């Protein structure tokens, strides 16, 4: 058994996992983005098949809206001032805005009255896009480091078991 490889695997596993879990503590902009979502939470009771406008927002060019339902089976729709649907997706929308007024509606897809909680944020479109893009790259890198460490440990354990049987 190669103990050096085992130690390197343990270090990679612990380091990758601890850095992944602590991303909210050190990643730039994470806390401010999280605070925007926390300050814009709400809850509505929506009947079966009912559509309910939950927010009216004023957008300006360069803004992006991210709207998420946190529970319930619902579609989220972004409507123009005249009530025309711009986008409708299940559970969430993420869309760049133009200078205009909009309404966000929730459509209950269940056959029963549901309490649907939601959160949203209006961000600079370029900044939030870059934030999530680079966050995704960091998370992927840390997942690879963690998996590499786990694979090294597993390889050493399997090698040790096979060598003991001989």
Contact 64, 123 (CB under 8 A): yes
Q: What is the pLDDT of residues 117-129, one digit of tens each?
A: 999 999 999 999 9
Q: What is the pLDDT of residues 43-96, one digit of tens each?
A: 999 988 888 999 999 988 899 999 999 888 899 999 988 888 999 899 899 999
pTM given for the model: 0.80
> What does the domain layout of the chain look like in residue ranges?
3-165
Return the CATH fold of 3-165: Jelly Rolls (2.60.120)
Nearest 5°: CA angle at 8, between 155 and 144? 75
> Strand runs (DSSP E) across 70-147, as ranges?
74-79, 85-90, 92-96, 100-108, 114-124
Contact 64, 97 (CB under 8 A): yes
Contact 118, 65 (CB under 8 A): no
């Amino acid at each position: 058994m190669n103990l050096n490889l085992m130690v390197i695997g343990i270090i990679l596993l612990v380091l990758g996992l601890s850095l992944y879990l602590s991303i909210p503590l050190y990643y730039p902009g994470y806390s401010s983005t999280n605070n925007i979502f926390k300050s814009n939470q709400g809850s509505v009771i929506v009947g079966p098949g009912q559509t309910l406008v939950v927010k009216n927002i004023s957008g300006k060019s360069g803004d992006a809206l991210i709207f998420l339902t946190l529970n319930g089976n619902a579609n989220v729709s972004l409507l123009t001032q005249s009530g025309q649907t711009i986008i409708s997706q299940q559970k969430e929308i993420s869309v760049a805005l133009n200078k205009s007024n909009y309404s966000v509606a929730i459509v209950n897809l269940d056959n029963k009255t549901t309490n649907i909680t939601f959160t949203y944020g209006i961000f600079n479109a370029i900044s939030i896009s870059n934030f999530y893009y680079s966050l995704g790259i960091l998370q992927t890198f840390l997942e690879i480091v963690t998996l590499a460490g786990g694979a090294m440990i597993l390889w050493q354990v399997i090698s040790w078991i096979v060598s003991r049987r001989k």
